[in-house]
């Protein structure tokens, strides 16, 4: 066992310090349980064509309609307020079957090559607020660098556990929590936690515990520091720093850093892990144009790994298809974005990027419990590239205000050495989002 970190005491210590931060009054809870309530509906129509070109040809095409309902109550009045958050999710299959399933939009087929016609789930969480501190227990959506629910498919991923947040100091946010189950974005029920790249077989982790702090005390600067423990698998630490400097009203510079350190812990169910992964970006914005250059590096004989289906990969070269996070991978990206409001088309934005990664797969551990599939004795000069194109239009006014249409296309190609762990892929996505605020 390497440097095992017990995060539960850290979480409890964070909770214990919160009363010292508290204000004398809690303005938010004065809204009342009913008066502070909201109900939001979100209709998402999603088509994905996941076309594997080599070394095997396969065409996974699925089309579905998702409905997301989220209710958030206010808090009962008083020094300590209580409330309830609830959600309901429904996914309908519009097309997908006859061997074309498996794109990850719909549930895995039952063996006949066809996904079910519908799947659904619901959940709720009780919450309590005292001063500037909120405690939540139950089913919830989470977004932070060490545990973030996947939002990139038709329905979102959710988690079951407890979370605690505090906003006593202006510009600071403290949080911590522990979850034991997640609901995948293309399934109905909850399951134990697994990882994206590690082969746990029939095993899983009992829970993940985290604590972190976010700072935005200066308008141009943001920074985050987090620590997490996925029981018997890893300790993971994260830090980022992002700075935007305005040279003028129309020109800005934006350098930034993301850094993860991951170390095995406890029973080390995925074997030895000693991984440092970072990305650096530098962006220049001129009016509606933005150009970003990225350098990303994985230092370690295992890939940079994260919770299965999650979005907790806060790296600059995490693209539509590939995260460029293989063992010892170094990658570069050049990206261009444009806001068409500059030529009178408000709501229309576009982007184009090219990324390239190089790996030495002979350094991957062939005896690794969880990551041996990355080893390739002929993979010294493995490399791949990805081209991403995107176009999005959001209606600005009228009855369909905020309805958005997104078109996304990714092409990923690798040489023979890289194809031992991945495929050549063309991936097309058409997404229509329509959010509705009921109240």
Domain that holds residue 325: 7-437
Choose among 264, 256, 261: nearest CA to 299.
261
Mean pLDDT score of the chain: 90
CATH code for the domain of 87: 2.40.160.10
| pLDDT at residue 109 in the model | 67
Tell me which of 8 and 45 has the higher pLDDT: 45
| pLDDT at residue 356 in the model | 98
pLDDT of 19 over the 60 cut:
no
In a domain, 66, yes or no: yes
In a domain, 26, yes or no: yes
The tally of domains found in the chain comes to 1
User: Residue 361 CA to chain centroid, in angstroms?
Assistant: 26
Choose among 94, 88, 143, 90: nearest CA to 114.
94
Report percent pLDDT > 70 for the chain: 90
Asked whether the CA dihedral 414, 417, 419, 422 is positive or negative, the reply is negative
User: Residue 113 CA to chain centroid, in angstroms?
Assistant: 28
Tell me which of 13 and 335 has the higher pLDDT: 335
In a domain, 137, yes or no: yes
| pLDDT at residue 5 in the model | 43
pLDDT of 280 over the 50 cut:
yes
Measured CA to CA, the distance from residue 274 to residue 354 in angstroms comes to 29
Q: Residue 369's pLDDT band (boundaries 50, 70, 90)? A: very high
In a domain, 1, yes or no: no
Q: Residue 52's pLDDT band (boundaries 50, 70, 90)? A: confident
Q: What predicted TM-score, i.e. pTM, was given to this entire model?
A: 0.90
In a domain, 60, yes or no: yes
pLDDT, tens digit, for every residue of 92-132? 999 876 666 677 888 876 666 678 889 999 999 999 999 89
In a domain, 355, yes or no: yes
| pLDDT at residue 104 in the model | 86
Q: Residue 375's pLDDT band (boundaries 50, 70, 90)? A: very high
In a domain, 2, yes or no: no
Tell me which of 23 and 408 has the higher pLDDT: 408
């Amino acid at each position: 066992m390497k440097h095992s970190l017990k995060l539960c005491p850290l979480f409890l210590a964070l909770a214990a310090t919160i009363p010292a931060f508290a204000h004398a009054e809690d303005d938010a809870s004065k809204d009342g349980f009913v008066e502070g309530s909201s109900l939001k509906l979100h209709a998402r129509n999603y088509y994905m064509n996941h076309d594997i070109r080599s070394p095997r040809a396969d065409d996974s095409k699925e089309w579905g309609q998702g409905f997301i309902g989220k209710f958030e109550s206010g808090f009962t009045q008083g020094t300590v307020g209580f409330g309830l958050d609830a959600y309901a999710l429904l996914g309908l299959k519009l097309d997908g079957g006859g061997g074309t399933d498996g794109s990850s939009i719909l549930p895995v087929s039952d063996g006949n090559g066809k996904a079910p016609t519908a799947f659904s789930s619901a959940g709720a969480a009780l919450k309590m607020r005292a001063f500037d501190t909120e405690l939540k227990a139950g089913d919830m959506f989470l977004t932070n660098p060490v545990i973030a629910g996947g939002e990139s498919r038709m329905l979102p991923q959710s988690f079951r556990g407890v979370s605690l947040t505090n906003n006593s100091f202006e510009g600071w946010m403290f949080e911590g929590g522990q979850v034991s189950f997640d609901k995948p974005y293309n399934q109905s029920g909850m399951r134990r936690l697994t990882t994206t790249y590690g082969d746990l077989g029939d095993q899983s982790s009992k829970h993940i515990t985290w604590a972190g702090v976010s700072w935005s005390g200066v308008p141009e600067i943001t920074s985050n520091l987090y620590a997490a423990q996925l029981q018997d698998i890893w300790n993971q630490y994260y830090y980022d720093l992002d700075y935007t400097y305005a040279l003028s009203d129309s020109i800005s510079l934006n350098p930034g850093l993301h850094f993860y350190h991951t170390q095995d812990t406890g029973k080390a169910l995925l074997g030895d892990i000693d991984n440092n992964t970072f990305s650096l970006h530098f962006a220049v914005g001129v009016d509606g144009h933005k150009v970003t250059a990225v350098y990303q590096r994985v230092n370690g004989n295992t890939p940079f790994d994260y919770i299965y289906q999650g979005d907790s990969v806060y790296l600059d070269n995490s693209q539509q298809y590939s995260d460029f996070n293989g063992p010892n991978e170094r990658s570069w990206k050049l990206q261009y974005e444009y806001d068409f409001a500059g030529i009178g088309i408000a709501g229309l934005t576009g982007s184009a990027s090219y990324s390239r990664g190089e790996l030495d797969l002979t350094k991957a551990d062939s005896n690794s419990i969880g990551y041996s599939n990355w080893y390739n004795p002929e993979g010294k000069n493995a490399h791949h590239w990805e081209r991403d194109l995107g176009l999005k239009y959001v209606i600005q006014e009228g009855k369909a205000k905020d309805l958005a249409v997104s078109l996304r296309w990714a092409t990923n190609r690798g040489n023979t050495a890289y194809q031992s762990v991945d495929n050549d892929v063309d991936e097309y996505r058409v997404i229509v989002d329509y959010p509705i605020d009921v109240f």
